[in-house]
């Protein structure tokens, strides 16, 4: 098998999605995700349950990815897996499985940093998306992450801003929970926001470093605001759900855009790529489109299936590393706090 004509299996298990994908020459042949519904009733991810669900899901998910790609496991050139960062119990499942499979098939093992993978997902070949040009700024926004990264080459990345507490997805989900919406509430806040007035209520934007984020205060101000209003009118939430959601979303999106603007100003880089589950949000998508017109930015938003946690992004990193023969040793261990 030449290094150009390779089939790489990617495996992702860092949080609550068990995922496997096959990539061939930059094109995704299959991208399978088993999302764990078990956490919904707890309003957030329960690490021990996530680890157990990964153990149940990983074999069928990998089988399905191979079947959809229409290849046999013996055709695989290498196995790429998420080594970190993430929940230790979850990472261990993907790591142990990948090590055993690579050993059994006698093919190389490639370790992948989940955060780099969110960014490099922009290099998956699709008809809809064009890859960013180096250097560019990447903002990763999800339930687990909020970062702005300066990307000068595939594996040359520098974090220039990040959250000091909650991730932006948590800000959406925790605010939604206060409003009585089910987990994960982000997509519902977005749905209601589209019917509401974004200026109806005002929430504070926490002051931290110019490119850093803080979201823990937002949920507290939403809580105090709602409690106060409910004292006057017990039906306040149901009567104002669209305006409340629109105002929360406006605050969050405006805050994200402030930070991006600061990063563009600081670095002089006007090419901006976003990733992570919150990239699905209509508010941030519209704000980026507007920034293209208003400030001359070039923006990139990947297909939704490559934004949320997925294995296609692990597979593309696997392919890039396979080409430069960057393989992991078989004694590689999972790393919950893996850095770039």
- The answer to whether the annotation marks 118 as part of a ligand binding site is yes
Q: What is the SS3 assignment for 221?
A: helix
**Half-sphere exposure of residue 67: CA atoms within 13 angstroms, side-chain side:** 7
Please tell me the distance from the alpha carbon of residue 282 to that of residue 260, in angstroms, as a whole number.
17
* Nearest to ligand KG4 of 7, 81 (CB atom): 81
Query: Which residues, 6+ apart, have CB-to-CB distance to 127 below 8 Å?
Result: none
* 39 annotated as ligand-binding: no
Chosen from Zn ion, ligand KG4, none, partner binding at 186 (C-beta under 5 to 8 Å by type): ligand KG4
d(CA 263, CA 274): 13
- Contact residues toward ligand KG4 (CB under 6 A) are 15, 142-144, 169, 172-173, 184, 186-187, 190, 276-278, 280-281, 308-309
144 is in an annotated binding site: yes
Q: Closest separation between CB of residue 324 and ligand KG4, Å?
A: 27
C-beta of 288: minimal distance to Zn ion in Å?
19
Taking a C-beta distance cutoff of 8 angstroms, is the pair 80, 120 a contact?
no
d(CA 23, CA 29) in angstroms, rounded, equals 6
Which among 137-145, 176-184, 226-234, 235-243 is the span making contact with Zn ion, rule CB under 5 A?
137-145
Min dist CB 157 to ligand KG4, Å, is: 18
Whether omega for the bond prior to residue 216 falls within 30 degrees of 0, making it cis, is no
Q: Please tell me whether 114 is known to bind a ligand.
A: yes
By CB under 5 A, tell whether 170 contacts Zn ion. no
* Distance (Å, whole) CA 280 – CA 285: 7
State the nearest-atom distance from the C-beta of 187 to ligand KG4, in Å: 4
Closest CA to 178 of 264, 253, 236: 236
Nearer to ligand KG4 by Cβ, of 43 and 187: the residue is 187
Give the one residue of 16, 17, 111, 309 binding Zn ion; rule: CB under 5 A: 309
Residues that bind Zn ion (CB under 5 A): 142, 309
């Amino acid at each position: 098998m030449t290094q150009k004509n390779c089939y790489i299996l990617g495996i992702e298990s860092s949080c609550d999605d068990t995922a496997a994908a096959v990539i061939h020459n930059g094109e995704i042949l299959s991208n399978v995700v088993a999302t764990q519904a078990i956490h919904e009733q707890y309003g957030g991810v329960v690490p021990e349950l996530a680890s157990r669900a990964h153990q149940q899901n990983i074999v069928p998910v990998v089988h399905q990815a191979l079947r959809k790609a229409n290849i046999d496991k013996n055709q695989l050139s290498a196995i790429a897996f998420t080594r970190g960062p993430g929940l230790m119990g979850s990472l261990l499942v993907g790591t142990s499985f990948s090590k055993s499979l690579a050993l059994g098939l006698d093919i190389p093992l490639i370790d992948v940093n989940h955060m780099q993978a969110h960014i490099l997902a922009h290099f998956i070949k699709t008809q809809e998306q064009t890859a960013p040009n180096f250097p560019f700024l990447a903002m990763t926004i999800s339930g687990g992450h909020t970062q702005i990264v300066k990307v000068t080459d595939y594996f040359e990345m520098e974090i220039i801003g990040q959250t000091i507490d909650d991730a932006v997805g948590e800000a959406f989900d925790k605010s939604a929970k206060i409003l009585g919406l089910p987990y994960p509430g982000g997509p519902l806040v977005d749905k209601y926001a589209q019917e509401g007035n974004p200026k109806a209520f005002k929430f504070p934007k926490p002051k931290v470093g110019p490119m850093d984020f803080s979201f823990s205060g937002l949920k507290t101000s939403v809580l105090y605001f709602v409690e106060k209003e409910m004292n006057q009118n017990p039906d306040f939430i149901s009567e104002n759900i669209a305006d409340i959601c629109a105002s929360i979303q406006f605050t969050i999106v405006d805050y994200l855009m402030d930070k991006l603007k600061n990063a563009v100003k600081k670095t002089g880089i006007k090419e901006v790529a976003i990733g992570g589950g919150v990239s699905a949000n209509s508010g941030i998508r519209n704000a980026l489109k507007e920034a293209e017109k208003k400030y001359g930015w070039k923006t990139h938003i990947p297909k939704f299936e490559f934004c949320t946690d997925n294995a296609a992004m692990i597979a593309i990193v696997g392919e890039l590393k396979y080409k430069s023969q960057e393989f992991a040793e078989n004694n590689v261990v999972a790393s919950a706090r893996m850095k770039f």
